[in-house]
């Protein structure tokens, strides 16, 4: 279990690694002159985009386009220089400070370090700092289920690398079309963390902060006030309902400093931390004191982050988690809930779109089996692909007009399941949401063991420039998952311990039927709650 502060932040980027691209824009795919790379150029037709344009931007546009395209064609080199912040300088592992490289030489240096660049480099234009001047975002996919992305900016006919970062199987990376950078990953079953940074209009990389939350710590490694690494031991204390969060914040010299806080949890893993939990008499606080480690209350760390955001002009500032946001912190809010003792809805009715075939028998392109996609804005543009990873988990991957738009994973189960996919605009914004449900027939009644409701978010961008977003997930077999209708249902007094037996996208919102029925004299009697949720 992770703390609410962390989860509220992680929603904006970790879940974002799952979905949808480029809606509301005309996306054109071009081959470069070299044939090695592909450009994903998005042309925004909205009036607001025209207002952003200026005469200066127009004059520079042809210069920027020419030099960026020349770089991608291998005709222009960039002089690599180490960045002040190692966290935004992954290319330092491969390139030599002060040396010039073209795109193919960069690829060779990466491949010489026991990597293989898989396929063509991808690139798109972004606008760091929203000043109307283009920057170039490049993504290299590696054959180890990882990728490397970097941002280039033109200065007086020369190119500068402003930032570079990697993503891999347990560490996701998001770069927005305005230069906002965030990453999130896992260091184990109970340890999750992320970084926040951005590239400003001047092409400067600005690190904001990182955090790592660890639950159920039997022992914990931390830096004491003297700067020495020490071990905090919690022998004899109950730690299942205890978690520690470490923040790293840079000082004015770019040096990282750690700041520690912790939280107490109740039996439902909800935070119950009070000021008294930080009294010196608290047995958990005593362990930190004995190790010489200073512990801060969360509001003190929030004050430091607010000040840091102001110092570096972090776009939008820093907004601490507020308890008032609890009802919507997992991307959902309740529209309605009706209690009934009869359920007339059956998942069987949802499979008319693929009555003669089971998705569970198919890999590859399954777009034709997406229920309701005809007539939506995605019709003819969205493609959905189904595959499996080494663990047998199901991976649903999405492209829009050939442009990668992310993926969504449903875990493998040791019982028979069947999947259903639906597309429908449920919030009236003209863009269809996507629903993926995994049902099992190994129970009575049929129940949903997983579902993901995915929503297009215009202000999210993956490292290849695509837009995406995800708002609601439900994983029956997880104690706590990213996202989270399961948490919502389990913590509602009426719904807790119920089974989800039907999920659908409706005009009114995301419809979830939860059943708490049981067999009486050999006959099953439904006790259902018909719930409608709003996404986002």
Q: In what order do the strands lie in the sheet containing 433-440?
A: 417-424, 433-440, 447-454, 470-475
| pLDDT at res. 86 | 67
How many CB atoms sit inside 10 A of residue 216's CB?
Answer: 17
pLDDT per position as a tens digit, 275-284: 999 999 999 9
| pLDDT at res. 54 | 41
| pLDDT at res. 62 | 54
Average pLDDT over residues 425-448: 83
| pLDDT at res. 530 | 92
Q: What's phi and psi for 60, nearest 5 deg?
A: -85, -15
pLDDT band at 474 (very low <50, low <70, confident <90, very high): low
228 is written with which tokens?
């020495």
| pLDDT at res. 473 | 57
| pLDDT at res. 353 | 54
> What pTM was computed for the model?
0.60
Would you say residue 196 has pLDDT above 60?
yes
Helices (H) and strands (E) in the chain, counts: 7, 30
Q: What is the mean pLDDT of the chain?
A: 77
Average pLDDT over residues 448-477: 55
Look at residues 76, 114, 110 and name the one whose alpha carbon lies nearest to residue 96: 110
| pLDDT at res. 56 | 45
pLDDT band at 416 (very low <50, low <70, confident <90, very high): confident
pLDDT per position as a tens digit, 24-37: 333 232 333 333 33
pLDDT per position as a tens digit, 134-185: 999 999 999 867 899 999 999 999 999 999 999 887 778 888 888 889 887 7
Alpha helices in 406-456 (DSSP H): none
Residues paired with 265 in a beta bridge: 271
| pLDDT at res. 401 | 78
pLDDT per position as a tens digit, 342-400: 777 777 777 665 544 566 678 899 998 888 888 888 888 888 999 988 878 888 888 87
**More confidently predicted of 234 and 65:** 234
Look at residues 187, 191, 189, 137 and name the one whose alpha carbon lies nearest to residue 162: 137
By CB neighbour count within 10 A (0-12 exposed, 13-18 middle, 19+ buried), where does 337 fall? middle
Residue whose structure tokens are 């309605």: 336
**More confidently predicted of 471 and 250:** 250
**More confidently predicted of 416 and 482:** 416
Alpha helices in 229-387 (DSSP H): 283-290, 298-312
Average pLDDT over residues 477-483: 39
Q: Out of 42-56, 367-381, 425-439, 457-471, which region has the weakest mean confidence (pLDDT)?
A: 42-56
Between CA 450 and CA 238 the distance in angstroms is 31
Sign of CA dihedral 463, 466, 471, 475: negative
How many CB atoms sit inside 10 A of residue 388's CB?
Answer: 12
Look at residues 432, 418, 438, 446 and name the one whose alpha carbon lies nearest to residue 505: 432
pLDDT band at 291 (very low <50, low <70, confident <90, very high): very high
Alpha helices in 345-473 (DSSP H): none
| pLDDT at res. 393 | 83
| pLDDT at res. 363 | 85
pLDDT per position as a tens digit, 107-139: 999 999 989 998 899 888 889 988 999 999 999
Average pLDDT over residues 446-458: 76
Q: Is 78 helix (H, G, I), strand (E, B) or coil?
A: strand
| pLDDT at res. 296 | 97
Exposure string of 160-170, with b = 16+ CB inside 10 Å and e = fewer, is bbbbbbbbeee
Would you say residue 329 has pLDDT above 60?
no
| pLDDT at res. 520 | 86
Would you say residue 7 has pLDDT above 80?
no
């Amino acid at each position: 279990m992770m703390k609410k502060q962390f989860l509220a932040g992680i929603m904006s980027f970790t879940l974002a690694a799952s979905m949808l691209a480029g809606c509301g824009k005309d996306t054109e795919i071009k081959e470069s002159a070299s044939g090695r790379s592909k450009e994903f150029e998005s042309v925004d037709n909205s009036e607001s985009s025209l207002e952003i344009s200026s005469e200066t931007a127009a004059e520079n546009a042809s210069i920027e386009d020419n030099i960026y395209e020349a770089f991608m064609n291998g005709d222009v080199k960039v002089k690599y220089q180490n960045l002040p912040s190692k966290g935004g300088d992954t290319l330092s592992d491969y390139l030599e400070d002060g040396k010039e490289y073209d795109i193919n030489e960069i690829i060779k240096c990466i491949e010489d370090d026991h990597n293989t660049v898989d396929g063509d480099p991808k690139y798109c234009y972004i606008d760091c700092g929203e000043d109307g001047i283009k920057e170039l975002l490049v993504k290299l996919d590696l054959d180890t289920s990882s990728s490397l992305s970097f941002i280039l900016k033109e200065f007086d006919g020369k190119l500068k690398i402003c930032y570079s970062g990697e993503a891999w199987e347990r560490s996701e990376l998001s770069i927005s079309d305005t230069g906002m950078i965030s990453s999130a990953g896992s260091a184990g079953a109970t340890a999750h963390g992320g970084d926040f940074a951005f590239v400003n209009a001047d092409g400067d990389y600005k690190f904001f902060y990182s955090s790592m939350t660890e639950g159920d710590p039997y022992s914990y490694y931390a830096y004491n006030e003297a700067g020495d690494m020490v071990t905090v031991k919690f022998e004899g204390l109950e730690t299942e309902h205890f978690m520690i969060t470490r923040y790293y914040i840079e000082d004015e010299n770019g040096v990282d400093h750690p700041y520690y806080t912790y939280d107490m949890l109740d039996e439902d893993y909800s935070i119950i931390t009070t000021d008294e939990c930080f009294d010196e008499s608290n047995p958990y606080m005593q362990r930190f004191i004995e190790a010489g480690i200073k512990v801060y209350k969360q509001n003190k760390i929030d004050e430091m982050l607010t000040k840091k955001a102001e110092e570096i002009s972090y776009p939008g500032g820093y907004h601490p988690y507020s308890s008032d946001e609890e009802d919507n912190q997992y991307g959902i809010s309740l529209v309605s809930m009706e209690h009934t003792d009869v359920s007339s809805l059956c998942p069987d009715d949802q499979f008319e779109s693929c009555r003669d075939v089971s998705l569970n028998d198919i890999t590859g392109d399954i777009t034709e089996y997406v229920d309701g996609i005809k007539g939506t804005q995605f019709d003819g543009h969205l493609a959905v692909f189904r595959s499996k990873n080494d663990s047998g988990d199901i991976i649903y991957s999405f492209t829009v007009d050939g442009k990668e738009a992310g993926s969504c994973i449903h875990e493998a189960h040791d019982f028979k399941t069947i999947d259903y996919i639906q597309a429908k605009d449920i919030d009236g914004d003209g863009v269809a949401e996507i629903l993926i449900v995994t049902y099992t027939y190994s129970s009575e009644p049929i129940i949903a063991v997983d579902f993901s409701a995915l929503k297009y978010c215009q202000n999210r961008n993956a490292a290849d420039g695509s837009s995406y977003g995800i708002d609601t997930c439900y994983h029956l077999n997880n104690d706590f998952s990213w996202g989270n209708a399961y948490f919502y249902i389990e913590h509602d007094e009426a719904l807790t311990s119920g089974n989800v037996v039907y999920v659908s996208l409706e005009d009114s919102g995301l419809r979830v039927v939860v059943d708490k029925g049981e067999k009486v004299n050999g006959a099953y009697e439904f006790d259902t709650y018909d719930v409608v949720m709003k996404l986002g």
